[in-house]
Structure 1
Amino acid sequence: MFKLRILQASYGDSLTLEYGDGGLTRYALIDGGPGGTYHRSLKNEMERIADEGGSLDFVAISHVDGDHISGVLDLFAQLEAEKAAGNPPLIDVGALWLNSFSKTIDGGRGIQSRFMTAINSAAGAPAMLQSGMALQGIFQGNKLRIKALQLGLDINPGFPDDLVMTDTAPAIQLGDLTITIVGPSQANLNALQAEWEEWLDDNEQVIASGDPQALANSDKSIPNLSSIMFLAEASGKTVLFTGDGRSDHLLEGLGDAGLLNGNGGMHVDVLKVPHHGSDRNATRTFFRKVTADAYVVSANGHPDNPDLSTLIWIVESAHEQNRPIKLIFTNETRSVEKLSEEYPPAAHGYELEVMPSHHWFREIVLA
């Protein structure tokens, strides 16, 4: 048995895995979506799993952006409240996989302290709270880590140096589920650290100024965070989880893990399309090399995700290779409409499915 559930997470990601082990059904949660996801879909999913007598082997946060972490913060807040009241938890959680900003992007280089100094200035702190900057994920990540410790959860068990990354991560076996970490690598983190230092050099004074317009503009130029990316395999089927990772990093990680074939490619049953279909994180070459039967895109048009160009790359690459595919979208967007108009599914060999607006999940039964 191997199932993937895509939860309705508006412009974010939230997915669960269901797998078997000698008659025992096991579960994992990957990301929790933005604010509102917990009450929209994630709580329903946790209640379903608990009603079936299940628990979560682990909760994985691909990275500490609000559209991936907020729903898990809400879940852990409920677990905290239940613990404080002496009530049984909604669901038991075995472990949390979380790469903190201080361990990944900062890495002892003082990046976080420089940022904190800027936003803690008299002008910067209130502006930061109002701006909605993606960097608020730093604080959310720290908050989630504290909640996990208060709940007595193991954080990154089995991963040396408290980091989930390719250089030190062995293949993880959970019943019949095999997980291979394919990102980030230490080389990825080193490159991202350099990008963040350059960004701080350019924006440190802007953050401290507290100018809302300037903060909004600098927010658009923030470098990537480092996503935990992994291949999940059970019953001969595979799902590739990509977070908001970059396709070049993903290909490097797949290669380093020995998962690419002689032509530098691989095929999976399901590919969670990176970064909600943003064309900043993938290329046509990537979709020619990493192929799938089904492509999952969690997005609702904000901020312009998925990009039409990304969808065209997927469809054209599959058509060139004579591969029938299915595209599964959590929401109807203008780019999805334009794809079906400009590349009619019947003529280009693909199926297109959009989750109904009143549904909070879509299940894919792999085995």
Structure 2
Amino acid sequence: MASPVMSLDVLPASFGDSLLLTCHTPSRPWRLLIDSGPDETYKALQRHLRTLTPGAQGKRVIDTFVVSHIDHDHIGGAAQLLNDASLDLEFGDIWFNAPAPAGPRIRGVAEGQRLAELLGASSRVLPWNTAINGQWLCSSADQRCPRITPRRGIKVTVVSPSLKKLKALFAQWDKEIAKLRAKTREAVEPTRLPRGMPSLDDLAASKTAIDKALPNGSSIALLVEYKKKSVLLAADGHPDVLVEEMRSLADSRQMKLPWNVDVFKLPHHSSRANVTTELLKVVRARHYVVSTNNAQFGHPDAEALARVICAGGQPTIWFNYATKQNLSWNDPARQAQYGYICRYPAAPGGGVRLEL
């Protein structure tokens, strides 16, 4: 069997995200770590990183560590990771958006501010957004879909947040940081399903509210391409931004929609407020990834997965936890009817790995 071009490890991060994407380049693997999960699952991330082979300098290399946005389930373990001397980690770059005025970085007690302080004022020197000269990572009207080439053949395109969404968060930064410190949970829209036992088609057609949470709207979402393979890592991105940016990128490359990717990490743990019919008309994948153990918010929402399944293409849906809720989708009759496949961890607490 040929060696993979890319691999994606979807680690067990409770109701959060922690993903390691590896491009297997000729010189050495290029590694992109997306989020750390909440603090309570840091040990799982630590165990996985210890399996990485150290480089020539004896360090385990993470070429880029992305802290997608200031929600506890994405940023909660970041400080532990950056301060973990036992791993002998070396970071090529760290991508994180925070309001940073001229002069000293913001100091504070909440996680987003602690990370900003660590990047700017710690005795350990760490790179911060060096790929774009220290600026914010965003795609906006005057900087549409910026492309970053970290190594020959690898293309990384920022498809969220928009500058408008990022500034909306910064305007409420102190308030959102206070919520983060208190671990305040966002309100969840109650499910309003059709009467009786709904079909997947009925679920897919259900009208649901669109995500308006400021931190989610500020999510750093990335399209990574290498050797004709592609992975879309959507964090908790808002669907309107993802739709606009992917359409714009398709226009710039003179490509017809839907945009076909190999792997799509669904936004916001497959929330119905983020996985919309419009988004799935713009982006189509062979493999869809759901990162959650169903805690806190009850994700994945049935409407979201129904939309994925009904979008067509006989998709494979990957779950990083084999919970009762996630396993309910592994129904042979329904899979045969709609032409989809489910994949789960081989062992409890092991997460899943996709190889391309």
Contact preservation (8 Å) 1:50, 1:91:
no
Superposed CA RMSD in Å reads 3.3
Shift of 1:264: 4.2
Q: 2:94 aligns with which of 93, 96, 102?
A: 96
Q: Do structure 1's residue 326 and structure 2's residue 296 form an aligned pair? A: no
Q: 1:24 aligns with which of 25, 28, 41?
A: 28
How does the TM-score come out when normalised to structure 1? 0.75
Q: How does 1:222-233 map to 2 (within 5 A)?
A: 223-225=213-215, 226-233=218-225
Aligned to 2:129: 156
Per-residue CA distance 1:222-243 (angstroms, 9 max, x = gap): 8331100110011110000101
Aligned to 2:269: 276
Q: How does 1:185-196 map to 2 (within 5 A)?
A: 185-190=162-167, 196=172
Contact preservation (8 Å) 2:229, 2:262:
yes
Contact preservation (8 Å) 2:36, 2:45:
yes
Shift of 1:188: 2.9
How does the TM-score come out when normalised to structure 2? 0.77
Counterpart residue identity of residue 341, structure 2: E
Q: How does 1:292-307 map to 2 (within 5 A)?
A: 292-302=285-295, 303-307=297-301
Aligned to 1:346: 336
Per-residue CA distance 1:166-206 (angstroms, 9 max, x = gap): 14474111223210111112233355568x59x97xx9xx9
Q: Do structure 1's residue 46 and structure 2's residue 49 form an aligned pair? A: yes
Q: Do structure 1's residue 240 and structure 2's residue 240 form an aligned pair? A: no
The runs of 5 or more residues in structure 1 that have no matched partner are: 83-88, 117-137
Q: How does 1:55-134 map to 2 (within 5 A)?
A: 55-79=61-85, 90-100=88-98, 102=99
Structure 1 residues 285 and 338: alpha-carbon distance in aligned structure 2, compared to 1, 3 A threshold: farther
Shift of 1:69: 1.2
Structure 1 residues 77 and 326: alpha-carbon distance in aligned structure 2, compared to 1, 3 A threshold: same
Count of matched residue positions in the alignment of Structure 1 and Structure 2: 310
Counterpart residue identity of residue 271, structure 1: F
Q: Distance in 2 between matches of 1:329 and 1:223?
A: 24
Counterpart residue identity of residue 74, structure 2: H
Shift of 1:6: 1.1
Structure 1 residues 335 and 224: alpha-carbon distance in aligned structure 2, compared to 1, 3 A threshold: farther
Q: Do structure 1's residue 312 and structure 2's residue 288 form an aligned pair? A: no
Structure 1 residues 339 and 284: alpha-carbon distance in aligned structure 2, compared to 1, 3 A threshold: farther
Percent identity of paired positions between Structure 1 and Structure 2: 26
Shift of 1:335: 4.2
Shift of 1:337: 4.0
Structure 1 residues 357 and 224: alpha-carbon distance in aligned structure 2, compared to 1, 3 A threshold: farther
Counterpart residue identity of residue 91, structure 1: L
Aligned to 1:250: 242
Contact preservation (8 Å) 1:50, 1:90:
no
Aligned to 2:348: 358
SS of 1:315's equivalent? helix
Larger fraction in helix: 1
Q: Distance in 2 between matches of 1:13 and 1:174?
A: 23
The runs of 5 or more residues in structure 2 that have no matched partner are: 189-211
Q: Distance in 1 between matches of 2:49 and 2:170?
A: 36
